[in-house]
Amino acid sequence: MDITEISGYRVLRQLGAGGMGQVFLVQHPRLPRQDALKLIDAGVSRNNEFKARFQREADLLALLSHPNIVTLYDRGEYDGRLWITMEYIAGTDADELLTTRGRLPIDLTQKLISCAGSALDYAWRKQQITHRDVKPANILLAIDDGQIEAVKLADFGIAKAAGESTTLTSTGMTVGTLQYVSPEAIEGHDVDNRSDVYSLGCTAFHLLTGQPPFAGKTMTSLISAHLNQDAPSISDVAPELPEALNPVFAMVLAKNPDDRYQSCGHFVAALAEATGSEIADPTCAQTMSAIPARIPKRTAYAPTMVGKAVATDRSGGTPPGSSRGAMAALWTSLAVIALAAIAAGFLLTRGGSESATPPPVSTTTPTTTSTSSLTPSTPTTAAETTTEVTMTQEQIVPGPVEGMPCDPSTDGQSPDATLHCSGMTGTWRDLTHQSNPTVQWNEPCFEPGARARVQNTDALVTCQLLPSGEGYTWRQ
């Protein structure tokens, strides 16, 4: 049955749906304003632990008021389902810019990172809140007549106040999210603002080069990369970028939080100094220039781990050239708290598509009869052309990665038999179950149908609804 009204909010249209609920564009019942409303599924909403955490997180978000943070308006319960309303941003996000336009210019990247960094530093300074899910998809751009009117950081939904429990679950974690997660968050340690500094560094690297610093098909491979591998030199990935950026990213992506910039503002200042760009106004509220046209893509680069991270003055400023070894990483639990359900994607308009899917990669193989250039240096007519060139174009469909949407009706596996299409989530999942953290028998869980290994055993359990209907636990 179609939902037409939720607690007085008139539903205008559905913006999206995910594993834990639906997102709607709604009309405020009393104000001339449209909001984004996230409606959590009933099965999850019935879990008392989740409900308490949901309400606590909403209260934390309500304490944040900043021009670069998506505003929380209201929360409540409708027909046994929790809901939350937030500021609706009509525009796009940095991840979609990467998909449609390729890597971003230095000046635009500097502005986006400045705005996001300003929001993160504010949240830490005011309420000791960390974001924990900083990535391009959560940097929203309000667009009007081709101009960027505002930049907003979304999805503080998995934010935690300092000192709260850091017990995590696998809800909402995908390969796309893991590309930006700090080593200490992966290991389940208590985190502070420097975890967000690391994630902001990964985001800036992706915006400038068109690819994240660490790549991997599965969560397991990405976890290993964050914990054990040094990030590639950014000027090796994108030779057109200044080499002065190399020590900046070596520091911001250091494995040990003590060796990173100690605030986002320090990283932003170092980024501006290395590129010669301006630091955006602290509030980032001014109208920015129009979004640029697509920057041509370069030849694909396979990251090569180089050297050791370069340590710099941790208070910010010009990084000197001393080096350090990467922190020896231990494998422990991975995951994210249950309020990951408040996803950034539902907060914006994307031309009718709620999740941008990267286009198939095209490779062109030229076959020539001479060594002449494919593009003549001087204009010629067809009759004057002496070099015969035959172009063969092959469309390559990207292979599935964990967390990517799939068609459950196919009940298929990936070509290498490492992933299967989950009928519960409609996404590709790791057949080996190595991506999920180990769990304990009858421990509460929040992702119906999820699979995991029992701690210190080889037994596999599933997140199942309790017979009472009141929540989910790990059971066989």
pLDDT digits (tens, 9 = 90+) for 11-57: 999 988 866 789 999 999 999 999 999 999 888 888 888 888 888 88
Contacts of 51-54 spanning 24+ positions with Cβ under 8 A: 51/82, 53/337, 53/338, 53/339, 54/82, 54/84, 54/338, 54/339
pLDDT for the residue 109: 96
List the structure tokens of 8: 């007085």
* Mean pLDDT value of segment 407-424: 64
- CB count within 10 Å of CB 360 equals 10
CA separation (Å) from 249 to 190, 208, 224? 23, 11, 19
Question: Position of tokens 């199942």?
Answer: 464
pLDDT for the residue 455: 74
Least confident of 109-118, 297-306, 370-379, 392-401: 297-306
- How far apart are alpha carbons 373 and 384 in whole angstroms? 15
Question: Position of tokens 């049955």?
Answer: 1
List the structure tokens of 238: 């994108």
- For 162-201, give the DSSP string: TTS----B-TT--HHHHTT--HHHHTT----HHHHHHHHH
| Residues sharing a CB contact under 8 Å with residue 418, sequence separation 6 or more, in sequence order | 217, 218, 430, 431, 432
Q: How confident is the model at residue 357 (pLDDT cuts 50, 70, 90)?
A: very low
Dihedral angle at the C-alpha atoms of 68, 69, 74, 79, nearest 10 degrees? 130
> Given a cut of 90, is residue 97 above it in pLDDT?
yes
- CB count within 10 Å of CB 164 equals 15
Helix, strand and coil content of the chain, in percent to the nearest 5, comes to 25, 25, 50
Closest C-alpha to 476, from 465, 462, 455: 462
More confident residue, 380 or 8: 8
- How far apart are alpha carbons 202 and 176 in whole angstroms? 12
Least confident of 50-54, 153-157, 350-354: 350-354
| Arithmetic mean of pLDDT over the chain | 73
By percentage, how much of the chain surpasses pLDDT 70?
61
Q: Is 133 a catalytic residue?
A: yes
- CB count within 10 Å of CB 98 equals 21
Closest C-alpha to 171, from 386, 439, 387, 391: 439
Q: Which residues pair with 444 in a beta bridge?
A: 473
More confident residue, 7 or 50: 7
Angle between helix 264-275 and helix 106-127 axes, rounded to 10 deg = 160
- How far apart are alpha carbons 9 and 276 in whole angstroms? 48
> Given a cut of 50, is residue 321 above it in pLDDT?
no
By percentage, how much of the chain surpasses pLDDT 90?
39
Q: How confident is the model at residue 215 (pLDDT cuts 50, 70, 90)?
A: confident
Q: How confident is the model at residue 322 (pLDDT cuts 50, 70, 90)?
A: very low
Least confident of 158-167, 248-257, 260-269: 158-167
- How far apart are alpha carbons 151 and 113 in whole angstroms? 10
Q: Are the CB atoms for 177 and 155 separated by under 8 Å?
A: no
- How far apart are alpha carbons 86 and 408 in whole angstroms? 31
CA separation (Å) from 88 to 73, 115, 150, 266? 10, 18, 12, 30
- For 240-289, give the DSSP string: TS-TTHHHHHHHHT-SSGGGS-SSHHHHHHHHHHHHTPPPPPTT--S-EE
> Given a cut of 70, is residue 472 above it in pLDDT?
yes
CA 359 from centre of chain: 19
> Given a cut of 70, is residue 310 above it in pLDDT?
no
Closest C-alpha to 474, from 457, 456, 447: 447
> Given a cut of 60, is residue 164 above it in pLDDT?
no
| Residues sharing a CB contact under 8 Å with residue 95, sequence separation 6 or more, in sequence order | 135, 136, 137, 139, 356
Q: Which residues pair with 454 in a beta bridge?
A: 439
pLDDT for the residue 420: 65
Q: How confident is the model at residue 386 (pLDDT cuts 50, 70, 90)?
A: very low
Amino acid at 416: D
Least confident of 122-131, 165-174, 282-291, 380-389: 380-389
Handedness of CA 32, 38, 41, 42 (dihedral sign): negative
pTM: predicted TM-score of the whole model, two decimal places: 0.63
List the structure tokens of 44: 């999850």
- How far apart are alpha carbons 253 and 225 in whole angstroms? 12
Most distant CA atoms of the chain, gap in Å: 82
Map out the domains of the chain with their CATH numbers: 5-87 (3.30.200.20), 91-344 (1.10.510.10), 408-475 (no CATH)
Q: Which member of 93, 95, 133, 196 is catalytic?
A: 133
Angle between helix 264-275 and helix 245-252 axes, rounded to 10 deg = 160
